[in-house]
Amino acid sequence: YDINPWMRRGEAVNHAAATHQWQKVYDIYTNRFGWNVQIVPPIAELPDMVFVTDCCLMLDGKILLSNFRFPERQPESTQAEKWLLGNGYANIRQAKHRFEGGDNLICGDKILAGYGFRSDPEAAEELRDYFGLEVVPLHLVDPCFYHLDTSVAILSDNTVAFYPEAIDAASQQRLRKAVPHIIDVTREEAQGFGLNAVSDGHTVVTSDQSESLLQKFRDAGFEVIGTPVPEFRKSGGGVKCMTLELRS
């Protein structure tokens, strides 16, 4: 199926290459960072489960389970809940409004909440009520950047990189007001999925496709690990999409 502009039914994924690229991300997490990586078993008819960040938002042991817009992804919520419950995560709430984890990023004591293509604007109030944090709503307007985490990267608690034209003018102003340090990114740089990144506040792990973007991260004082993810880009995802932070 195709449910975003990156997906094309005639463009097959090379499974061997995808497995190799996934393994490289896993190895970076385990060997470089020493992180304890948990694996969610795949379901054959749910290929987008590989983009595990979309299943929920978790903070301080509280989990808001995604309410997916497209029928093709809706069964993922049930599978995610089964895995979470089976691994000791009990404080789970199903989102009432359309809400997807990939639209929501934790930045210090704030939640950046994207809406427009997958999540509803009303989800921001639900996030505020449940997690008790300030929520910064950001209206996505470019369908190529359908989830917030494709156009915004949290590099540290006070530094964000983003592609401005992915969100409307009012949202750009809100973001610049909410976060002290902003790195502007071009459309070409963003299309390489370098903003779909994971950072521990010091080191950024992301797509290696745009060297100019990686240099912007370095210039801002971050160490950078670039890794190839072109097979996942065919489905509109990258490193962050494949990674759910278990914030217990």
Q: What is the pLDDT of residue 10?
A: 85
Contact 136, 111 (CB under 8 A): yes
- Helix/strand/coil (H/E/C) assignment for every residue in 158-203: CEEEECHHHECHHHHHHHHHHCCEEEECCHHHHHCCCCCCEECCCE
> How far is Cα of residue 168 from the mean position of the Cα atoms in its chain?
19
User: 215-238 pLDDT, tens per residue?
Assistant: 999 999 999 999 999 999 999 999
User: 73-107 pLDDT, tens per residue?
Assistant: 999 999 999 999 999 999 999 999 999 999 999 99
Active site residues: 147, 241
User: 113-155 pLDDT, tens per residue?
Assistant: 999 999 999 999 999 999 999 999 999 999 999 999 999 999 9
Q: What is the pLDDT of residue 209?
A: 98
